[in-house]
Amino acid sequence: MKNIRRILITCTVLIVAVLFGVSYYMIEFSLSHDRSNWKPEHTWDFMYEHYPWANEWLDSIRQNNLLADTFVLSEDGRKLHAYYLPCLTDSTSGTRTAVLIHGYKNNALGMLHLGYMYHHDLHCNILLPDLHAHGLSEGEYIRMGWLDRLDALRWCQIADYLFQVPIVVHGISMGAATTMMLSGEENLPQSITHFVEDCGYTSVWDEFKGELKAQFSLPEFPLMYTSSLMCKILQGWGFSEASSLNQVSRATKPMLFIHGDADRFVPFEMVHSLYEAHPGDKQIWLPEGVTHALSYDVYPEEYTQRVKAFLEK
């Protein structure tokens, strides 16, 4: 009996050790971000190649150094970076500020296509943050929008200080999740008037569960549970609490939901649950044949007009 007990204890310890080892690997695989080879020029080149209609605007702001830098400290003491650009083109300039939040392993400059839309077409000021561990912001781990929502709130306060006009928060993918997670916070500043989410996920748990199956053909149990616990130990938050769905259900300000119907990376079906959960003023647009995060790329004119109509309403 003693030998059997020792074998069972040894097997249990080994299984737990393997699970937590694999969980640590999963956290490092999904949430660590090596930026050693990234340079801002890489993103500028991407913008020029993929958005030729914005090239003249991109040239203007780049050659004249119009993008200003600003920094804040996060709650954990990390230095966070953002660019901002006032709109100075005509008498309607600066009537609104757009805070544009990028996606997973992207950066602030990667939102310049929507910066063009808001600044050039809709005559708004723009502020483009680098999320924690992205771009020029400090940090080692990606936070999937959950803790980022608090940083986004601080950036909205900075935008309010800089421009003192109503604010729309607009995010894509993980940035959309950040936007939705922010929308459910209590006592949001009155200056935040609208939210736009483009292909965000219902929760970190749901998104990682889908990727665990798609990339590794592994079931939800037990790795999702042990990986979430590992994330809680390392970063102070777990996958299930990072829920866009729960936050949207508490939102009080208008939201526009955008999601391409061919999106499989963040499953298209998620947008229906999110839209239904929002209790207030809302609109939805489901572009046909669009995969993940490409709605503006495929339908730039309609995208612009729908955002414009949403803000004017």
pLDDT of residue 5: 76
Question: How do residues 27-56 score in pLDDT, each as one tens digit?
Answer: 999 999 989 889 999 999 999 999 999 999
Judge residue 275's burial from the number of C-beta atoms within 10 Å of its C-beta, 0-12 exposed, 13-18 middle, 19 or more buried: middle
Taking residues 289-297, report their average pLDDT: 98
Burial class (CB in 10 A: 0-12, 13-18, 19+), 10: exposed
Which residue did the predictor score with more confidence, 216 or 183? 183
Residue ranges of domains in the chain, CATH in brackets: 36-203+242-312 (3.40.50.1820)
CB 102 within 8 A of CB 46: no
Burial class (CB in 10 A: 0-12, 13-18, 19+), 303: buried
In angstroms, the CA 19 to CA 13 distance is: 10
pLDDT beyond 60 at 92 = no
Indicate if the pLDDT at residue 91 is higher than 60.
Answer: no
Summarize the confidence of residues 170-187 as an average pLDDT. 98
pLDDT in tens, 124-151: 999 999 999 999 999 999 999 999 999 9
Per-residue pLDDT tens over the stretch 274-284 = 999 999 999 99
Burial class of residue 23, CB neighbours in 10 A (0-12, 13-18, 19+): buried
> Rounded to whole angstroms, how far apart are CA atoms 270 and 284?
13
What pLDDT digit, counting tens, does each position of 16-29 carry?
778 889 899 999 99
Enumerate residues 6+ apart whose C-beta is below 8 A from 279.
249, 251, 252
Distance CA 226, CA 22 (A): 9
- pLDDT tier at 236, thresholds 50, 70, 90: very high
pTM of this structure: 0.95
Using DSSP's 3-state secondary structure scheme, residue 252 falls into coil
Nearest alpha-carbon partner for 109 in 97, 100, 117, 118 = 100
Q: What is the C-alpha to C-alpha distance for residues 109 and 224, in angstroms, rounded to an integer? A: 32
The predicted pLDDT at position 177 comes to 98
Rounded mean pLDDT, 262-280? 98
Position 24 scores a pLDDT of 92
Q: Is the pLDDT of residue 229 over 70?
A: yes
CA distance 247 to 235: 20
| pLDDT over 90 (residue 7) | no
Distance in angstroms (rounded) separating the CA atoms of residues 189 and 288: 35
Residue 93, pLDDT > 60, answer no
Backbone angles phi, psi at 285, to 5 degrees: -135, 125
- pLDDT confidence tier of residue 267, bands split at 50, 70 and 90: very high
Note the pLDDT of residue 36. 87
CA distance 62 to 59: 5
* 197, two tokens: 């989410």
For residue 68 the two structure tokens come to 């200003």
Nearest to 208 by CA among 32, 33, 31: 31
Q: Per-residue pLDDT averaged across 221-236, rounded?
A: 94
Banded model confidence at residue 3, pLDDT cuts 50, 70, 90 = confident
- Residue 197: pLDDT above 80? yes
Confidence (pLDDT) at 84: 98
